[in-house]
Amino acid sequence: MLTQERYQSILSIVNEKNAVTVAELAALLEISESTVRRDLTALDELGKLKKVFGGATAITKPEGVFEDSVSMRETMMSTEKTEIARYAAQTVNNTDFVFIDSGTTTSRLIDFLENDRATYVTNGILHARKLIQKGFNAYVIGGKLKQATEAIVGAEGVANLKNFNFSKAFMGTNGIDISAGFTTPDIEEATLKEAAVKHSYMAFVLADHTKFRRVFSVTFSALKQCCIITDSMPDGRFAKETVIKEVLK
């Protein structure tokens, strides 16, 4: 295998797994560990990955302001989202006053809820419809409707949230990063998310493993302010910053 071919193969594996050991790369590529170490050093110097003790991690990718549509996101990581939602639903009690953020994983959470004595508040149009179809005591906040995510955002929505004191909040996110925290592309949506987290006794971010080590334009919360429910954690360093539940491990 030529050097450039090895580089491409290594980058492909690291970016897919987010973190990988020298031994894993050597086995997958059928090359010596010394060759892997030399290649990781070279790729680290080129700024393509981050070399760490015993392996390498993917570099956090700034994502800017682009955001996929709801219909597109609904089909991505479907099994992982379902298991995350199933676990999250088990944390709700009948006495809870719950905020449910807009998003595809938080929408699936509603499918598994059985607590008809809890009270629910949401900024998701689809979420509100699903809640009332199940006969739950539900409220939807007022404000500007964002077409791409079918979420209510803006100053009016933030003002509504400031009147509430939630026992639990279930949040969606576009990116999770140790330094940047939880991020999203939209300023108005970030402001509303920030208010929801601030006015909740416990906040849970529901996110599959592809959201880790991605950074979007606006931070709405530091990692330590929310627990994370995910399918699997790609990097153990995140567990040092907050409580993380991996539902598929």
pLDDT one-digit tens code per residue, 124-141 = 999 999 999 999 999 999
- Name, in order, each residue with C-beta under 8 angstroms of 152's C-beta and a sequence gap of 6 or more: 102, 123, 124, 125, 140, 141, 142, 143, 144, 145, 146, 192
The whole domain housing 135 covers 63-246
Residue 191 is which amino acid? T
Answer yes or no: do 68 and 31 share one domain. no
Contact 214, 238 (CB under 8 A): no
Any idea what the CATH number is for the domain that residue 42 is in?
1.10.10.10
**Residue at a domain's end among 14, 40, 59:** 59
Regarding whether 137 and 117 lie in a shared domain, the answer is yes
* Whether residue 93 is found in the same domain as residue 208: yes
State whether 77 and 185 are in the same domain.
yes
Mean pLDDT over 25-37 rounds to: 92
* Domain end call among 59, 83, 101: 59
Do residue 24 and residue 114 come from a single domain? no
Q: Specify whether 52 is located in the same domain as 80.
A: no
Helix and strand tally (H, E) in the chain? 9, 17
pLDDT for the residue 47: 81
pLDDT at position 152 is 94
Single-letter amino acid, residue 29: L
Kindly state whether residues 142 and 77 are assigned to the same domain. Answer: yes
Summarize pLDDT for 140-160 with one digit per residue, the tens.
999 999 887 889 999 999 999
- The domain that contains 138 carries what CATH number? 3.40.50.1360
Q: How would residue 8 be classed by pLDDT, with cut points 50, 70 and 90?
A: confident
pLDDT at 3: 85
Instruction: Domain count for the chain, please give it.
Output: 2
Summarised one tens digit per residue, pLDDT across range 80-126 is: 999 999 999 999 999 999 999 999 999 999 999 999 999 999 999 99
pLDDT value of position 151: 92
Residue with tokens 């990718």: 61
Q: Are residues 35 and 156 in the same domain?
A: no
Is residue 79 domain-shared with residue 8, that is, in the same domain?
no
CA separation for the pair 247, 67 (Å, rounded): 26
Residues 133, 230: one domain? Answer: yes
**Alpha carbon distances (Å) from 136 to 91, 163, 168:** 17, 21, 16
**Distance (Å, whole) CA 241 – CA 10:** 28
Instruction: Please indicate, yes or no, whether residues 172 and 52 belong to a single structural domain of this protein.
Output: no
Residues 46 and 93 reside in one and the same domain = no
pLDDT for 87: 98
